[in-house]
Amino acid sequence: MSSTAVHASKRLTLKAYAVRAFVAALIATVLNIVVYYIGDAAGAFPSTIEVMAGKSLQISNVIMMSVLGTLIGMVIFAAVGSLKIFRIIAIVGFILLLFTPASVKDPTTEFVVYLEIMHVVATVVVLWVACWKKHA
C-alpha cells in the first residue's frame, strides 16, 4: 500500500466533516449562551458598550458568532485534513481572537473576561470535535 493511499484513508468523509461541524456549532453555541446569560446576570454586558452596528452585545450576536466561528473552524479542518496542522492554525486563530476586545470601544474588565471565555469555549469545542477518532 502506498503512502498516498494510507494518507487518503485517514481523511474523513464529507458527511463526517459536516456532522462534526454541526455538532461543534451546536455545543459551542449552547455553552456560549450559558456563558452569556451568566455574564449578563453579573452585569458584564451593559448597554453602553457598543459591539456591532452601534448596538450592545445581544444573545443573537453570541449565537451568530458561535455558529459562524465553529463552522469556519471546521471548514478549515476539512480543507487542511491534518489534525496536527489544524491544531496549529486553531491556536494561532485563538491568539488572534484574544485581541478582538480591542475593537470594542471602552469595554469593562468583566466584558472582556466573558467575551474571552466565549472564545475559549468555541476554540476548545472545535479542537475537541476535530480530535474525535474516525469510525470505520
26-80 confidence digits (pLDDT tens): 999 999 999 999 999 999 999 999 888 888 999 999 999 999 999 999 999 999 9
Using a pLDDT cut of 90, give the percent of the chain over it: 76
Residue 4 has pLDDT above 60, yes or no: no
Q: Note the pLDDT tens digit of each residue in 10-19.
A: 788 999 999 9
Lookup result for grid cell 468555541? 122
- The model's confidence at residue 81, banded by pLDDT at 50, 70 and 90, is confident
Domain boundaries, the chain: 3-130
Does the pLDDT at position 3 exceed 70? no
Judge whether 73 and 126 are in contact, CB under 8 Å.
yes
Classify burial at 108, counting beta carbons within 10 Å of its beta carbon; exposed 0-12, middle 13-18, buried 19 or more.
Answer: middle
DSSP for 23-36, please give it: HHHHHHHHHHHHHH
Question: In the prediction, which pLDDT does 102 show?
Answer: 86
pLDDT at 6 over 60: no
Whole-model pTM over 0.95: no
